[in-house]
A and B are shown apart, each in its own frame.
Chain A
Amino acid sequence: MAPILEVRNLRTQFSGPNGYVTVVDGVSLTLAQGETLAIVGESGSGKSVTAMSILRVLPEPPARIAGGEVLLEGRDLLKLDEEAMRAVRGHQISMIFQEPMTSLNPVMTIGDQIVEALCEHRDISQDDAFAEAVALLERVRIPDAKRRVLEYPHRLSGGMRQRVMIAMALACRPQILIADEPTTALDVTVQAQILTLLAKLQSEFGMGILLITHNLGVVARVAQRVMVMYAGRVVEEAPVGPLFKHPLHPYTEGLLGATPRMHSDAEEGARQRLVDIPGTVPLPDKLPPGCAFAPRCPKVFDRCLKERPELVTNRDGRKTACFLTQERTA
């Protein structure tokens, strides 16, 4: 399927005390209609900055998009003026955030907030907008939507608020929804409900979802493709199944090893210890000269410390940025 969103070589920088620091370095991705692409990585790997660069909602300055293209149906969003960009936001690309507690205006009823979102993009009367707000709340499966529409956010639970957020984001039927850790702040049972809801809405609306998360369990549930980011760069990209079965990059391997799993009996569970990745993500202004992951990599060798591996497509169509896998498959 032809991609609706294509990002090429995106570079985002932040000004620091010693000049600009590159936080997102050469990220490329594609997203097709109805597809879910997950971006995973630790905190500080540049996932959220990538998403916010696509929507151009980073504060400039200190941030600046130093290069690349963001093509939405062939149109480069980075070249649009603010007015045209505002028409894209919410209308074609929308976003939901991690914290449903603070993502809603505490002094407005949820109905009014959805009405505001609708009126921004559509020439619609107040009454029609209100009726549509109720319909939207019903679509995100909020029971008793007619009454709930008049409630203030503090009277709703976390899961309900996230549903309202989703309703707001989908108010204008965007083609792409960016979900920045949409379930992190919710408890596990509610997480599952929200993910199921997102998947259902995706099939109803046919939108592409860019899912940003550090939760691999979530990825396995909803995504078709996964992009692993480390220190501002893409280190591996693959379909979900193969990636989970056979991770190529040592970092991906580390992430999977650090995910808790259920085992059939306690003894086996005790043998399969949870492995962690030693160290932390390097700061973007203190990147090592070679592979950014080299200082933490269990399989590091000389070349990794001197030279930076590029993201290369292997024979089976998967992409990695690691000399080991590239040598093995080349």
Chain B
Amino acid sequence: MQAFRDFWRRYRRKTSAVIGLVLLLFVFLVAFVGPWIVPGDPWDMATMPFLWPGTNAEFPLGSDTLGRDILTGIIHGSRVSLLIGFAATLAALGLGVTVGALAGYFRGWIDDVLMRITEIFQTVPTFLLAVVLVAIFKPSMTTIVLAISAVTWPSIARLVRAEFLSLREREFVQSCVVIGMGETRIIFRQILPNCLPPIIVMSSVMVASAILTESGLSFLGLGDPNLMSWGTMIGIGRDAMRTAWYMSALPGVAILITVLALNLVGEGLNDALNPRLKNH
């Protein structure tokens, strides 16, 4: 508890970090209570097409080319974006942390093999690889999450490996070895908690980039066809970009706010968790 209070004291020193947190909590709130506010199906053609925002009180954000309510779409899209963003990051963390920890702890040939595999993934442009993966395995929530995590885990693996390489040389690890502690216990109980701060910071930014990747995929028509996501909405609005720009701009603003919030939070976490600044 004391540790958390210290953390919060350091976090709130930065105004931008607090703003980011408030924005992020707002997005979460929308995602959680949204379906009760706008109970309709985002795919329903609820009104006349090309309804501009602010012209009809029942549809405050207007409608798209087929008369679907944009507000309903954005609120439902927030669930999709957050879900995919966090699920993809979690999956990437699972793989990346395992690979990085093994490579950094055992070094030698294990490190060589794992890092060569990691590098293969890193040499391919990530978005292209994601497009290819989703295109091969039929777009759905699961394949999108897997594709995004498949292209993002290498950066986590490299970060964790670097942390492990330096931490395993530290004397507290040596002293665990000399009192006969097992390798699994040393890796997960002793070393891993020490590299959590950079992992947490990186994760927040990765959620943001996963949301962007998902939007990009949906924009290209590679989103889950049953889910109304922000990227899908921008894709739909693309055809009417010159006559009704709001169709793309409004979900775009939603993406902007969410990604910005996550980046601000990430930066705030970095400052709050950075051990070099801890004692000030």
21 contacts across the A-B interface (CB closer than 8 A)? A57-B174, A57-B178, A86-B181, A88-B180, A89-B177, A89-B178, A90-B181, A94-B179, A95-B178, A99-B171, A103-B174, A103-B175, A105-B172, A105-B176, A105-B190, A106-B194, A116-B176, A116-B185, A120-B182, A121-B180, A168-B175
Q: How large is the interface on A (under 10, 10 to 19, 20 to 34, 35 or more residues)?
A: 20 to 34
Interface presence of A194 (CB below 8 A): no
Docked pose: A94 CA to B180 CA in angstroms: 8
A117 pairs with B171, CB closer than 8 A: no
Please report A residues at the B interface, Cβ cutoff 8 Å.
Answer: 55, 57, 86-91, 94-97, 99, 102-108, 116-117, 120-121, 165, 168-169, 171-172, 178
Taking A168-B179, A171-B179 as known contacts, 8 extra A-B pairs with beta carbons closer than 8 A to each other, sorted by chain A number, are A96-B175, A103-B174, A105-B190, A105-B193, A107-B193, A108-B190, A108-B193, A121-B180
Interface presence of B276 (CB below 8 A): no
A97 pairs with B182, CB closer than 8 A: no
B172 partner residues in chain A, CB cutoff 8 A: 102-106
Select one of A86, A87, A95 contacting B175, CB under 8 A.
A95
A165 pairs with B180, CB closer than 8 A: no
Tell me the count of chain B residues lying within 8 A, CB to CB, of chain A: 19
Interface presence of B170 (CB below 8 A): yes
6 closest residue pairs by CB, A with B: A90-B179, A89-B180, A90-B180, A95-B178, A103-B171, A102-B171
Docked pose: A189 CA to B20 CA in angstroms: 51
Please report B residues at the A interface, Cβ cutoff 8 Å.
Answer: 170-172, 174-182, 185, 189-190, 193-194, 196, 275
Least Cβ–Cβ distance between A155 and chain B, in angstroms: 10
Select one of A105, A106, A108, A169 contacting B179, CB under 8 A.
A169
Docked pose: A229 CA to B273 CA in angstroms: 45
Docked pose: A104 CA to B173 CA in angstroms: 8
Q: A87: nearest residue on chain B (CB-CB)?
A: B180
B171 partner residues in chain A, CB cutoff 8 A: 97, 99, 102-103
B189 partner residues in chain A, CB cutoff 8 A: 116
Docked pose: A107 CA to B181 CA in angstroms: 17
Q: B175: nearest residue on chain A (CB-CB)?
A: A103
B193 pairs with A94, CB closer than 8 A: no
A90 pairs with B182, CB closer than 8 A: no
A97 partner residues in chain B, CB cutoff 8 A: 171, 174-175
Docked pose: A105 CA to B195 CA in angstroms: 12
A171 partner residues in chain B, CB cutoff 8 A: 179
Least Cβ–Cβ distance between A305 and chain B, in angstroms: 39
